[in-house]
Structure 1
Amino acid sequence: MNLSTYKIKTIRVKLILIFTVFFLLPFILFGSIWYQRSTQLIEENAIASAQKSIQQANSYLTYYFGDLERITLPYITHPLIEAFMKITPDEVYQRFSITTQIQNQIINQVIYGKKEVYGLSIISENGIVVSNLADTMEGWGNRDLIQLEPRDDRNIKFNHIHWENGIPILTISRKFTDTNTYSTKGLMLIDLRLNVISAFISKIGSSQTGFTWIADGEGSVVLHPDPSRIGDAVPDWYNEHIRKMKQGSLIVEDSGVKKLIVFEHSPLTEWTLVSEVPLTELTGDLFALRNITLLILIAVTLVSLFFIGGFALSLTNSLSNLKRLMKRAGSGEMFVRAHVPPGKQDELNELYDSFNQMVEKLQRSIDEVHASELREKELMIKQREIMLKSMQAQINPHFLYNTLEVINSYAILENVMPISRMAISLASLFRYSITSGDERLSLYEEMQHIQTYFEIQKERFEFLTVKMQFSWDDLRQVQALRLTLQPLVENVFRHAYEKHERYPEFVALRGERTALGYHLFIIDRGGGMVSSDMEKLNQAFQSVKDTEYHLPGRDQDEENRWGNVGLWNVHQRLRLSFGEPYGIHILKSTEKGTWIEVHLPVINGGT
């Protein structure tokens, strides 16, 4: 379908289309863009806030462990430490003296004021240990010093978590290196209470339900607010999205809850700090504000749509009602009126009032025209009655002279009974013709008159064949008008035969009763008429105009014109007396003859 040729016909559809294109669609489009953009900005702000918190936590850990490394660095080259590294197990007194000094001058100084430090231990390559953990010295045999020793070029190592008296302990090992041989002479082990560090980390960027935890490079949980999770394997989403990355953020769904995950890797500890915060906690208030704003906007739009749409609907309904009233008035229902509410003086009520005035004026005009037409038809009918009575009073001279000539010939030459029969038939014909012309009677009486007419014509034309193919009983129930068939039969002799210089040899009257009335066919074998004249006559018979100016033959010979006028007069008499669809119709007319159909009403039950 070509859209350029499509036209919107109703105002209602136009209003809906304008509202949809210029208001509803832009509102939906910009509302969707605003919704998506506001959601994106809210999530970006939440991620930025979480990233700031995790960076603070990571900075704290980096600073703390860096500070711890700086504090212990001077003790690597401390004279007491160097002396301690050289003691053998056999030097008992010297061992006791140096360890006591290290205990008092180094270990106590390092752990003083640091409640997160659980213990500080120094181990020589000879297996001699000095530590503040005097009560747990027997546990040193369970530690794998080889695993605790830093590898490669690193001087410090963060080891796996172990538990001491129900407390998670992180052991940081630092090696003592010989400045000459660069070999390891011993280790310094710093045991930290993770619950103290965890409590401090949790305060940074803390939320109602969110928390921060730490994973090491091997995929184990190092630090977690839930102590039971320390030492467990990291979640699957950590291995999928975080393990090989340095920092970033993502949204995951864990146990049916969407969480915002922000992480950052620490090069110093090779740990990854992970912050988990439920997305609803970060964006709940902002989303609520956004949703409230959206609901208010939708409510305002719906209220506006209600009032604007109601007004537009009222307007279009009024116009549609006026359209229906105009259609009814156009179909002839001039009694319709538009309801005009009292007290309202807007444009629609003025339009309704104008419509009512227009219909009233049209009704008056139609009544005047109808009355004028009735008067004109009455005058025309009276004129035709006068013309018909004049025609009845003047018997066709041509027919009368020929008949008298035949009578005279028989009387002179033969002196036989046909003279008597013709005289009797002629008398009967005259008596029927001079009776009142528009008197209604049955087709039976009219057919008896035509039979008398044919008896006279048979005396004129010896070889004339007349066939009457109908039921005489049916004719008693068919209504007709006096002298409606004789002009039709006369036309057969004058225009079908004599005009074409043919001998009248055959005339048939065939009748049949149908559900629509009685159909009488007048059939001849004469020369017929031209097809154009037949079409014009049939158009004249079907026309509702009561005029003979559109009949064929006006510019032809007078004889042919009066033949057509005769057919027209019979048709008009039947139509004026019985109405539609009764009258005359020419079925066919060729060189082999003509079929004229006369449609008459049937009396049913005496009606």
Structure 2
Amino acid sequence: MKRRTLSRQIYAYFLIVIVLSLVSVGAFSYFQSSRKLDDQAKLYMEQMVDSANYQTDSYLQSYELLSNAFSSNSDVRAFMELNPDDPYAYYDFSRRIKDFAQTSVTSIVTLYKQLNMIYVTGEHGRSIIYENQNVLNLDPVLVKEKFDKLMTSTPSDGKIALLNMSIRPVDEGSVVTMSVKVRGPSYGPNRGVVAIEIKLDELAKTWDRVSLGKDGFFFIIDDTGKYIYPPAMGKRAPMDELASEALRSGNQTFITKYNGEDRMFVSRKSAYSDWNLVASMPVAELRKPAETIRTTTLVVGLVTLVVSLGLAIRFGRSIIAPIRWLKDSMRETEKGNWQYIEESGRADEIGGLIHSYNLMVTRLQGMIERVYEAELEQQKNLLELGETKLERQRAEFQALQLQINPHFLYNTLETINMYAIVQNSGEITEMVEAMAFMLRYSVQTNLEEITVANELNHVRNYMIILQHRTDREFEIDVAIPPGLLLEKMVRLTLQPLIENIFQHAFPDGIEDHHTIRIDAKKESGLFQVFVEDNGVGMTPERLAELRKKLKENRLAEPEESGAKRGGGIGLMNVHRRIQMVFGEAYGLSVDSEQGHGTRMTMTMPETDRPRMRG
């Protein structure tokens, strides 16, 4: 029977895990990226065609303004009822309409530089043709033929028509004609048309901006299937095939086989001109980035597989080598007085370990007593360590109680001194009494119970001193229900929060609209005290940093020398003091929004007496 070693098992499992991981990640990445790239390519083509459609409509609408100006001109309307046998009248109208055309076109030459010609023709057979500041004379038979076509193709309700034609044979296929019917001065039936020919070469500059890659092309057809802007040379299919497919699609995107290859066509129908603007690109070109991703994925996957297998072999050897060394080392112990235990019959490295382990079992009975004595000694050390830890927590709690802002005491004493020098007032007595109460209340280090009323009285004395120092009246809104005033809480937790507000919530001084509110409630076995203000609040970064310190349950670090206090030391001491009395599940939480104030919440258990917890 072939020996199945542990190393071979490790290599086999590594190979399975690596191959499955590479195949699943590679396949998922390829299919997801291919689908996203197809969607992006489709969206890109649709956006380009929509942009060209919009620019074409805007372009043609500009010419409609010029057409309306001609059709409403009084000389043009009067020309429609001209006596065709009156040469002087024809000359006079030609001169006036030419002057009007020159004035209109010259004033907006930058907009209408793509203009080919403007002509006015009536059913009487007379016409005035304006081209580049000149009036042309064409064959009357040709004019009559074009006039009949214009009258037939142009709506009678005053709307314009876009026609793929020209009055001159030489311009056929290179211009688009915009025509509108005109009535005479008597507002009778339509007597003629005004037509404007637009050069397609200039209009095509807008369409040529549509970038469709090496094998892509763009074309425009009218609502009858005729090409307004044909595909590039060598790309045109029979008109009844490509044009009819585009007309059927309307505003859809479709994929069809064209010239032996699958191509994507994006068609958009203009609501203004009834033209269909169509862009086309080979599907293979659109999916070329996806093919590149597939090739890259395969190459990277194979390289990763080879490297991973090499690392797996190295890792397997690093595991097997110590086991074999341990097995060989344990065999050396067989030279002692160890009793042999029957082996389980395993032939791999683990079996060797079991063999060596069984040899050591006979010595374990002699070691039990020593292990038991060592365990007793360890338990004794743990008890001593626990007592030491409890003493450290008590010392930390007392130290926290003694942390009073020395700057506040110094400033207060200086204020008392100034009052004593400047005036003989009862205010000094009031300040000294308030300060004496605060000092007596602050330096007590025992864990006796105190109530919400005690903490509020401590805050009241603090406010007396602060009002004398700042020479400004300020009241705190206390909304605590009377039934909660005798609830138990931790000493010296409320006044530091009020002091923090005055230091940081109102950096520019106290204004009339500033408020501080204290409230409390009991709910779901919890007693909560809320302190909130409408000051400047905290930035999201500062709030996140403070919450992180509260979560880590550590005291705030001192600020750099000379820097403004960040407000973290007092809040962290309050948080730690609550936790040292009631446990880690309670403490201080902060909510703040920059420009809208801060809300601090002290959460404690609803209990008759706080107790110290380790």
Q: TM-score range by the shorter chain?
A: 0.3 to 0.5
Q: Which has the larger radius of gyration?
A: 1
- Relative CO higher for 1 or 2, CA cutoff 8 Å, sep ≥ 6? 2
TM (norm. structure 2) is 0.45
TM (norm. structure 1) is 0.45
